[in-house]
Amino acid sequence: MASQDLAGKVAIVTGGTRGLGLACAHSLANAGANVIITGLNEERGADAVQSIGASTRFVRQDVGKPDDWPTVMAAAAELGDLDIMVANAGISNFIPIEQMDLQAFRTLMNINLKGAFLSLKHATQAMRSHGKGGSIIMMSSVMGRISAPANTHYSASKAGVRLMMKAAALELGAENIRVNAVLPGLIHSDMTAWLDEAETASAFVPVKRFGLASEIADTVLFAASDRSKFMTGTELVVDGGLLAR
Amino acid sequence: MTPIDDLKDKVAIITGATKGIGRSTAILFARSGAKVIATGRSEDAGAKTAAMIQAEGGEGLFTRQDVTSEADWKKVCETALSRFGGLDIVVNNAGVFMVKPIEKTSEDDFDWIYQTNVEGTFLGIKYGFDAMRKTGRGGRIVNVSSLMGQVGFPGASAYCATKGAITGLTKSAALEGADITPPIRVNSLHPGVIWTEMITDQFGGDEALQQAFIDETPLKMIGRPEHMADAIAYLASDQSSYVTGSELTIDGGRGAD
pLDDT computed for residue B204 by the predictor:
86
Beta sheet of A84-87, edge-to-edge order? A57-60, A34-39, A10-13, A84-87, A134-139, A177-184, A235-238
- pLDDT tens profile B65-99: 999 999 999 999 999 999 999 999 999 999 999 99
- pLDDT tens over chain B, length 257 residues: 999 999 999 999 999 999 999 999 999 999 999 999 999 999 999 999 999 999 999 999 999 999 999 999 999 999 999 999 999 999 999 999 999 999 999 999 999 999 999 999 999 999 999 999 999 999 999 999 999 999 999 999 999 999 999 999 999 999 999 999 999 999 999 999 999 988 888 888 899 999 999 999 999 999 999 999 999 999 999 999 999 999 999 999 999 98
A154 is catalytic: yes
Distance to chain B for A48, nearest Cα, Å: 23
What pLDDT sits at residue A1?
A: 45
Residues of chain A contacting residue B6, judged by C-beta atoms under 8 Å apart: 1
Rounded to 10°, the helix B20-31/B43-55 angle is 30
Q: Which residues of B touch A174 (CB under 8 A)?
A: 218-220
User: Is B231 in Cβ contact with A239 (below 8 Å)?
Assistant: no
pLDDT for the residue A54? 75
Number of CB pairs, chain A paired with chain B, less than 8 A apart: 140
Name the residue among B220, B244, B253 with its Cβ closest to that of A241. B244
CB-count exposure of residue A114 (10 Å: 0-12, 13-18, 19+): middle
The verdict on B241 touching A (C-beta cutoff 8 Å) is: yes
Partners of B252 on chain A (C-beta within 8 Å) are 173, 230-232
- Reported confidence tier of residue A4, pLDDT bands at 50, 70, 90: confident
Question: How near does any CA of chain B get to the CA of A142, in Å?
Answer: 11
- Which residues, numbered 3 to 22 in chain B, qualify as contacts with chain A under a Cβ-Cβ cut-off of 8 Å? 3-6
The model's pLDDT over A146-164, given as tens digits with 9 standing for 90+, comes to: 999 999 999 999 999 999 9
The DSSP-derived string for A170-212 is HHHGGGTEEEEEEEE-SBSSGGGTTS-HHHHHHHH-TTSSPBP
Residues of B with Cβ-Cβ distance to A166 under 8 angstroms: 256
DSSP-derived 3-state class of residue A96: coil
What's the mean pLDDT in A23-27? Answer: 98
Structure confidence by residue, pLDDT tens digits, A154-197? 999 999 999 999 999 999 999 999 999 999 999 999 889 899 99
Q: To the nearest whole number, what is the mean pLDDT of chain A?
A: 96
What value of ipTM does the predicted structure carry?
A: 0.94
Assess whether pLDDT exceeds 50 at residue A69: yes
pLDDT-derived band at A3, boundaries 50, 70, 90: low
Catalytic option among B114, B127, B159, B234: B159
Express each pLDDT in A75-116 by its tens digit. 999 999 999 999 999 999 999 999 999 999 999 999 999 999
Disruptive mutation site among A192, A227, A243 for chain B (greatest number of B CBs within 10 Å): A227
Chain A residues whose beta carbon lies within 8 Å of the beta carbon of residue B33: none
Angstroms from A34 CA to nearest CA on chain B: 21
Q: Which of residues 132-171 of B touch A (CB under 8 A)?
A: 171
The residue in chain B having the minimum alpha-carbon distance to the alpha carbon of residue A171 is: B218
Q: Does B24 touch chain A (CB under 8 A)?
A: no
B231 touches chain A (CB under 8 A): yes
Asked if the Cβ–Cβ distance from A5 to B2 is below 8 Å, we say yes
